[in-house]
Structure 1
Amino acid sequence: MTPVPLRTSPRTALHIDVTDSPLPVAEMIDWATVPECGAVVTFTGTVREYSVPLGGPSAGNVTAIEYETFATSAVSRMQEVAEAALDRWPQTRRIALVHRAGLVATGEAAVLVAVSAGHRTQAFLAAQFCIDVLKAAVPVWKLEHRQGQGTSWVETGNLITDVAVAAHEWEPYS
């Protein structure tokens, strides 16, 4: 899939993508690093070996997660997330949001957020906002693969909300 450069101006740029390839973490950090910004904050979400199902005990032996999405819809929602972050933190200069699709093995990166801003506080808050609202509002479904136990859908994918609602309800962790 081809990345979609959005809201590009001399001072602000977005890089939004859904890809079936490994995430370009170092490349996105380089892209987000610009001379007028003193902070680049990244978040990389990886596939872990266990999950915590809703209302149940921890389920182990996860070997991979298969991410399913409609790329066009996911990219559109991710753009809304990034633009909502820019509205809150206008001094932000670059935001990259990249999500994997397809089968992703344990330990591999599944989602990447990279944010650059003039100062660390704005970069940290914008990055946290982006991942939290992305998780709440971008239509990505997860099928967990477990060693010797088959597969099962992660129920949280059913709780997708509107970006504006998720952005309005967002509060940073204290």
Structure 2
Amino acid sequence: MSEPVRVAAVTEQPLSVDRLLATVNDPAVGGIVLFVGTVRDHDAPVDPTIDGDSAGTTRGVTSLDYTAHPLAVDRLAEVAARAATVHGVRAVAVEHRVGHLVIGDLAVVVAVGAEHRGEAFLACRQLIDELKAGVPIWKEQTFDDGVAEWVGLP
């Protein structure tokens, strides 16, 4: 069997769901879960019971600029490796985009292949949650009023 972490990358290139899906496909995989994070046109109040953030005012967004610390790839690989230890997980792939992104662009793609769907869902959720909490990638949102604001800085 090949290594379970097939891809852990930070890139300026557009992301491909199909490529990561193919990366985690494996004869032992019975379920694949994908998470695709996209740039949306607004910064909405969130439900703190889901994302752990506090609610706020909805504002229109025109673009995002992602910046990564030089250690971001190493941290991303560590997060992917932890997700790969979930029982039954056979393959994990994750890519996060950096640079200037506009509405509709893919910002992050996570793919997990596991023996069963439950394991794949669990590992995918764990990976994206740990990525957001601990991988040093930050975004600067530009709002429709021209104001820019950094999000997720330590």
Report the TM range for the smaller structure's normalisation: 0.7 to 0.9
CA distance in 1, matches of 2:80, 2:145: 39
- Aligned position for 2:12: 20
8 Å CA contact 1:40–1:116 kept in 2: the answer is yes
Whether 1:64 and 2:56 are equivalent positions in the alignment is no
Contiguous gaps of at least 5 residues in structure 1: 1-8, 159-174
**Cα displacement (A) at 1:56:** 6.5
CA distance in 1, matches of 2:68, 2:80: 18
Of 120, 125, 129, the match for 2:126: 129
TM-score w.r.t. length of structure 2:
0.87
- Aligned position for 1:83: 81
**Cα displacement (A) at 1:81:** 0.6
CA distance in 2, matches of 1:55, 1:121: 29
CA distance in 1, matches of 2:4, 2:121: 17
> Could you tell me which amino acid in structure 2 is paired with residue 75 of structure 1?
V
TM-score w.r.t. length of structure 1:
0.77
Q: Name the structure where helix makes up a greater proportion of residues.
A: 1
Q: Which has the higher contact order (CA 8 A, sep 6+)?
A: 2
Of 19, 26, 29, the match for 1:34: 26
Whether 1:104 and 2:101 are equivalent positions in the alignment is yes
**Percent identity (aligned):** 36
SS across alignment from 1:157: coil
Q: Which stretches of structure 1, 4 residues or longer, exceed 4 Å deviation after superposition?
A: 52-56
Q: Name the structure where strand makes up a greater proportion of residues.
A: 2
> Could you tell me which amino acid in structure 2 is paired with residue 135 of structure 1?
K
1:11–1:66 Cα change, 3 Å: closer
Contiguous gaps of at least 5 residues in structure 2: 46-52
CA distance in 2, matches of 1:27, 1:112: 10
8 Å CA contact 2:37–2:107 kept in 1: the answer is yes
**Cα displacement (A) at 1:60:** 1.9
